[in-house]
Structure 1
Amino acid sequence: MNFAMKLNYRLQSDQSPADALPAVLIHGLFGNLDNLGVLARDLKPDHPVLQVDLRNHGLSPRSTEMNYPAMAQDLLELFDDLDIGKALVIGHSMGGKAAMALTAIAPERIEKLVSIDVAPVDYALRRHDKIFAAINAVTEAGLTQRSAAAALMRESLAEEGVIQFLLKSFHEGEWRFNVPVLLDQYENIVGWQKVPAWPHPALFIRGELSPYIQDKFRGDIARQFPQARAHVVAGSGHWVHAEKPEAVLRAIHRFIDPV
């Protein structure tokens, strides 16, 4: 049984037309509601923008349960609390999977879906073991300053962008994501339970250099999202929205606001 939690969120609706559908932005693993800020700033003149902290992330509540049905239930409760009847839902990585899981329990509440660099599949891979080790090393060392934490993390992590991304959730010696639960529930996060076919428009944005959306996943995507279309962003990896924001935003606008 999945019990919904009251998510922390930010809603900006002062600039957009009164009849515009809200755009809901959902971050990935180790993230928070600020991570898709470049998208939020661009979208808010045309749409109310709702940014959320998923459970066990940011300032949202903690739980020992971390799976996509639970995350989807959290999102649905937030929609209900905010009287959002229908929305455009955009998620990166784990957030994309949470958005896709929402189609299973509230198919008519999503007008269009954008999944940024993630497919509806069980990856069955442990891509984040070095990250967990670096995070735990900072905790075990009792560090409180970001500069010291960064120096320690550089001993095991080569990508400076990843280190700086993680440190956005490091405050006064504490991580604003629930490290023990994310590690314990990691198989659920990389895993996937197939959802019923959702017959509405879906856009899958892929970073050309990223392994997360591959040609071998086309069948899985088409069976669950038969109206899916794909957009590849050249020269980008998994954090495609941070690496090539203009290209991602062009693709999103063409999809959600066709002229």
Structure 2
Amino acid sequence: MTHSETLVLDGGAVADRIREGLAPRIARLKERGVVPCLATVLVGDDPASATYVRMKGNACKRLGIASIRVELPAATTTEELVAAIRGLNGDAAVHGILLQHPVPPHIDERAAFEAIAAQKDVDGVTTLGYARTAFGLADFPCCTPAAIMAILAHYELPVSGRHAVVIGRSPILGKPVSAMLLNADATVTTCHSRTADLPAIVRLADIVVAAVGKPKFVRGDWIKPGAVVLDAGYNPGNVGDVDYAACAAHASAITPVPAGVGPVTIATLLKHTVDAAEKFGA
């Protein structure tokens, strides 16, 4: 498989399709007097996180979704953050709450995630959200895993019966995408920093999901000819977790970084916010 024959999985096209489906639903909600609203909570001044929050706010504005930005100083305590989230839980005008990850290290991130009300957990970050994802019952699965599944579906790439290797086991990416692939009848191997002979395992994969947070971590010679490669990483300098050129030379299909998984993740977040407004809005 040469690079020129590799299908580039354009996240922008998938995101456009999702947004097109949302516009009439938002219009119908507004006719009922309900304006879908996403609240983003940002703690501290991490520049990448600030950029992500701004992008999400701009995406809301373009579709006519209201957005509230809650910005808290880096010195915020776990208790103060939980109180802020509970305040949003009690605001009937807010349909979705997104706590931007990561939070400063002194904060108990899990406690903060757990404070998000289930009906407003539009990024599937609570333990209940993860459990419902594992059972295939989630209203709002984690947005990046859901985006990966949306890309596979959009391009009609087969999952059932395929061997998927997920590199990474975070509770908001590696673990839930492993569950979603398993629910779609893939055979799933979840790898991590303690995995022995990782390259040998990746070479068995029909589908590779890279979610490890290390630039160009996945090498070209790890990729089985014809495998599908989904890069969920985003590192400084617009670099993913996959060595793109080297992996594309072997893959049948691959997501670029940027313009791959990222745009679909944001579109999925907007979709979940609209879903929540329809299901739980006044």
Does TM, scored on the shorter chain, surpass 0.5? no
Sort the TM-score into its range (normalised by shorter chain): 0.3 to 0.5
Higher relative contact order at CA 8 Å, sep ≥6: structure 1 or structure 2?
A: 2
TM-score normalized with structure 2 length: 0.37
Q: Which is higher, the Rg of structure 1 or of structure 2?
A: 2
